[in-house]
Amino acid sequence: MTDTALTPPLAVLLELTHRCPLRCAYCSNPLALTPASAELSTAEWCAILDEAAEMGMLQVHFSGGEPMARADLPELVAHASRVGLYSNLITSGVLLNEAKLAVLAEAGLNHVQLSFQGLDEAVAEPLSGFKGGVAKKQAALDLVQAAGLALTLNFVITRQNAHELDAMLSYAEEHGIARVEVANTQYYGWGLQNRAALIPSEAQLDAMTALVTDWRERVKGRMVIDYVIPDYYARRPKACMGGWAQRFLNVMPDGTLLPCHAAQTLTHLDFPRFPASTLNAAWFDSPAFAAYRGTAWMPEPCSGCDNKEKDWGGCRCQALALAGDANTLDPVCEHSPKHEHVVTLARREAQLGDVPLQLRRFSYAVTEE
């Protein structure tokens, strides 16, 4: 990719806060969370929305942590709407109630992405550390549908709940959901520590793949199913974030500007921070954003690979986490010398059975305001 081909991002993902009422074992946020005292102010988030719109971005994703833990969320949604950004709320749903949803809808919220850790409380609660979450999420789904907002269901899959996939898809179908994500956990941040406890077996994966194939056929034209497998069992890497610094710009709770949510682990790069840096300067001028953009940085055999402009070399954060070097091949790729090691690791961990889950620990409770 040359500089002349560089266009603004399609979307900005605002991680408004790391605070969350859930304590998910698979949480992909970093080990060291941003404290509430370091979060950007309402005015600063609004300034980021202004700039995103000025740059020509089309969408804003409000994420976290739990974005509903921010009392100013309706104000931010209203601001996004004013500046013409399509807004998506990525939420666990457990802090949602009728009054709060009415305020968000009135503010102009366009879309909700609601996550589930399963439909059986006995399965979901140990994964999320939140009692009564399934009932709250089901109530949230009803509210979002009653409000007429666009809705995507996100089923987070691990070895503990993979057997529920058929029930999950039936639930989505019964509720007339148009878009479902079957998202096997990817192992970043806190979740990486729990990988041995969470990763499904290849037999579970094969069963899921067959099920999704059947379901896609059955619900064609009514329900779209996005299916993400655990990277470790793939033979070719994913185009992480659609290519490093090509489509998305992430803003951390403290204003750090990143090309992906895990990039802070790449400590050899100096990522800019808002408001000291504008979004525009970060995107177009920052050496950290340029580091792995396009194909010029690629080692062999990536640089000679036919897929290099499809997978963009895979995931840099994973290359660092699994191969110890962000500049090398994503070990998920079958051409990586580390590939066999990664697959063997996954197979071995998947057979470990009941490994205790380490839930996130917060020094404070996040509750309904």
Binding site for ligand FES (CB under 6 A): 240, 244, 260, 262-263, 315-318
Tell me the closest approach of the beta carbon of residue 141 to ligand FES, in angstroms: 28
Tell me the closest approach of the beta carbon of residue 282 to ligand FES, in angstroms: 15
Residues 101, 141: contact at Cβ < 8 Å?
Answer: no
Tell me the closest approach of the beta carbon of residue 269 to ligand FES, in angstroms: 11
Sheet with 11-15: strands ordered across: 224-228, 179-184, 150-157, 111-116, 86-91, 59-63, 11-15, 248-251, 257-258
Which residue from 115, 113, 112 is spatially nearest to 92, judged by alpha carbons?
115
CB atoms near residue 333 (< 10 Å): 22
Task: Check the annotation: does 317 bind a ligand.
Answer: no
Tell me the closest approach of the beta carbon of residue 260 to ligand FES, in angstroms: 3
Q: What is the dihedral of CA 51, 53, 56, 60, to 10 degrees?
A: 110
Task: Check the annotation: does 315 bind a ligand.
Answer: no
CB atoms near residue 304 (< 10 Å): 8
Pick 288 or 315: Cβ nearer ligand FES: 315
Tell me the closest approach of the beta carbon of residue 103 to ligand FES, in angstroms: 33
Pick 302 or 317: Cβ nearer ligand FES: 317
Which residue from 69, 66, 67, 70 is spatially nearest to 27, judged by alpha carbons?
66
Residues 188, 26: contact at Cβ < 8 Å?
Answer: no
Pick 141 or 315: Cβ nearer ligand FES: 315
**Distance in angstroms (rounded) separating the CA atoms of residues 181 and 60:** 19
Q: What is the dihedral of CA 76, 78, 81, 82, to 10 degrees?
A: -100
Q: What is the DSSP string of 289-346?
A: HHTTSSSTTPPTTGGG-TTHHHHTTS-HHHHHHHHS-TTS--TTSTTSTTHHHHHHHH
Tracing tokens 């895990």 back to the chain, one arrives at 262
Pick 156 or 177: Cβ nearer ligand FES: 156
Task: Check the annotation: does 20 bind a ligand.
Answer: yes
Tell me the closest approach of the beta carbon of residue 127 to ligand FES, in angstroms: 21
Tell me the closest approach of the beta carbon of residue 241 to ligand FES, in angstroms: 6
Pick 20 or 245: Cβ nearer ligand FES: 245
In 148-299, where do the E strands start and end? Answer: 150-157, 179-184, 224-228, 248-251, 257-258
Pick 61 or 79: Cβ nearer ligand FES: 61
Pick 134 or 319: Cβ nearer ligand FES: 319
**Distance in angstroms (rounded) separating the CA atoms of residues 308 and 310:** 5
In sequence order, what are the residues at sequence separation of 6 or more whose Cβ sits closer than 8 angstroms to the Cβ of residue 361?
23
**Distance in angstroms (rounded) separating the CA atoms of residues 197 and 191:** 10
Beta-bridged to residue 61, according to DSSP, are 13, 88
Tell me the closest approach of the beta carbon of residue 338 to ligand FES, in angstroms: 16
In sequence order, what are the residues at sequence separation of 6 or more whose Cβ sits closer than 8 angstroms to the Cβ of residue 11?
57, 58, 59, 60, 61, 247, 248, 249
Pick 60 or 262: Cβ nearer ligand FES: 262
Which residue type occupies 28? S
Tell me the closest approach of the beta carbon of residue 314 to ligand FES, in angstroms: 8
Annotated binding residues for [4Fe-4S] cluster, written as ranges, equal 20, 24, 27
Annotated binding residues, written as ranges, equal 20, 24, 27
